[in-house]
Amino acid sequence: MADRKKIVVFASGAGSNFISIYNYIDEGYINAEIVLLISNKPNCGAVNFAKKHGISTAVIDRDVMKDSVKYQEFLLSKLSFADIDLIVLAGYLKMIPEEIVCIYENKILNIHPSLLPKFGGKGYYGMKVHQAVIESKEPFTGATVHFVNTKYDEGPILLQKKIKICNDDVASIAEKVLKIEHEILPYTVKAFCDDKIRWIDNKPLIIGN
């Protein structure tokens, strides 16, 4: 069996996406190890879960966050300690500095709760995404896993799953979308860890078993 990949997860919220990856690793479905959880929220669900389960955590101080140089230095110091294979942004609400995106090119995955490029970019996060989807009267929404590049929410798309909107409100859409996030994020993380991603014409493709 190939070596276990080393993953660093970034999360700012409840951490359900992070927990879903953790559980799939625990069950042996994903051949990886989460070596670090980075967050900007000291008491969020993701940090609490990591602490309970013996995963190292690094919380970014508010003052550090406000200073772009310090923010970048902090992240670089945390990330450079190990040979990292993959970074997963699982509901991380802050930008990753450009230099880090360049160092870890094609090694950073993000989950976004819409069918990108629709409802992506500045201002589209959390419930705001679902609110905008409802207001637009779109017939479908969904979730997207993409690689992170220097343009916010515009990196190469790896996988999307869509759902039909029928008599939904923001809360019910959020619930349905989160459910599919928990399917497609672990699936793509597994594909990455099993070396099942190929780049064809600068587009990532998951190859079969």
Structure token digits, residue 158: 């790896």
CA distance 174 to 128: 10
CA distance 207 to 103: 25
| Candidates 53, 112, 146, 182; catalytic one | 112
Give, for 102, the enclosing helix (H) or strand (E).
helix 98-103
Q: Does 11 bind ligand GRF (CB under 6 A)?
A: yes
Residues in contact with ligand GRF, counted by CB under 6 A, come to a total of 14
Give, for 160, the enclosing helix (H) or strand (E).
strand 157-164
Residue nearest to ligand GRF (CB): 91
CA distance 198 to 187: 15
Q: Is 130 a catalytic residue?
A: no
Q: Does 42 bind ligand GRF (CB under 6 A)?
A: no
Q: Which residue's structure tokens are 């200073």?
A: 67
**Residues 127-166, mask of contacts with ligand GRF (x by CB under 6 A):** ----------------------------------------
How near is the Cβ of 33 to ligand GRF at its closest, in Å?
A: 19
Structure token digits, residue 40: 């900007």
CA distance 193 to 196: 8
CA distance 10 to 71: 14
How near is the Cβ of 178 to ligand GRF at its closest, in Å?
A: 5
- Candidates 10-18, 69-77, 101-109, 199-207; binding stretch for ligand GRF (CB under 6 A): 10-18
Q: Does 186 bind ligand GRF (CB under 6 A)?
A: no
How near is the Cβ of 185 to ligand GRF at its closest, in Å?
A: 8
Catalytic positions, written as ranges: 112
Which residue ranges make up the site for ligand GRF (CB under 6 A)? 11, 13-17, 90-91, 111-113, 126, 178, 181
